[in-house]
Structure 1
Amino acid sequence: MPTDQYHEPPEELSAETRTFARMCASLAEEAEAIGWYEQRISVEPNEVSRAIMLDSLKEEYKHFSMELEFLFRAKPLWAEIARGVLFQDGDIVANGGAAEEGAGSGRAPDGAGTSDAPGTLGIGSLKGQGL
């Protein structure tokens, strides 16, 4: 079955690239579902229905996060830049600029935490911090 997720002939793409494209598409779909649930929840008057949708929304957050982590592990440079932006205090745009500027240099962006394992965001280091 053909899809619109490829911008190059699929038969010319490696299996790794096709998997990466599928995960990008899944991530976009999860983000879209999160937006839909947020809208539905904001207007739903029935308390039980709203509670069910909130439970579903948490599942979407989980799926989005797992897919994002998969992509970060597949693309270490992306993960490196994300470490300089995600879970950081201060100006988001400034953090993004600093992270991009320092990417690939081998030095951590200012304020970036250390990673627990290669290819992860080091979120494990936040355990027990009440976040």
Structure 2
Amino acid sequence: MGFDQYHEPPNELPDEVRTFARMILSLIEEAQAIDWYEQRMAVEKDKEAKAIMRNAQKEEFKHFGMDLEFLLRRKPQWREILQGILFQDGDIVEHGEEAEEAVD
């Protein structure tokens, strides 16, 4: 059974790469769900419906964070780069360049 998430024959990929692909796809799906809720809330007039959507979006954001943490535990260089970018004041692009250079 083929899946769009694979660019190589799945049966040739090691289990850990297939798990990685699943988690990447899950991260993408969670980000997409967060976006959809953001758009829905932007146009929703009913306060109760909007509150339910906001609650659902928070759940999707939690899942996004868990997926990201899973991936970062398997890619230590990614974690190092993100530590140089996230939760920093100042220029985001500059921090990104500096973090990438520090890991190379």
Aligned equivalents of 1:75, 1:13: Cα separation in 2: 18
Gaps of 5+ in 1: 105-131
Q: Residues of 1 paired with 2:46 and 2:93: CA distance? A: 39
1:62 corresponds to? 62
1:97 equivalent to 2:92? Answer no
Q: Which runs of 4+ in 1 moved over 4 A?
A: none
Q: Deviations over 1:11-56 (max 9, x none)?
A: 1111000000000000000000010000000100001100000000
For 1:80 and 1:10, how far apart are their aligned partners in 2?
Answer: 29
* Rounded Cα–Cα distance in structure 1 between residues aligned with 2:3 and 2:9: 11
Quick one: which amino acid aligns to residue 10 of structure 2? Answer: P
Matched residue SS, 2:67: helix
- Equivalent position amino acid for 1:56 in 2: A
1:36 aligned to 2:36?
yes
Amino acid at match of 1:83: Q
Instruction: Letter of the 1:53 partner, please give it.
Output: M
Question: Given the two structures, how large is their TM-score scaled by the length of structure 1?
Answer: 0.78
Query: 1 CA distance for matches of 2:90 and 2:7?
Result: 37
SS in 1 for 2:2: coil
After TM superposition, the score normalised by the length of structure 2 is: 0.97
Structure 2 spans left out of the alignment, 5+ residues: none
- Normalized per residue, which structure has more helix? 2
The separation in 1 between residues aligned to 2:83 and 2:9, in whole angstroms, is 33
- Per-residue CA deviations over 1:66-113 (Å, capped at 9, x if unaligned) read 000000001001111011011111100000000000015xxxxxxxxx
Tell me what 2:3 maps to: 3
Instruction: Say how many residue pairs are matched.
Output: 104
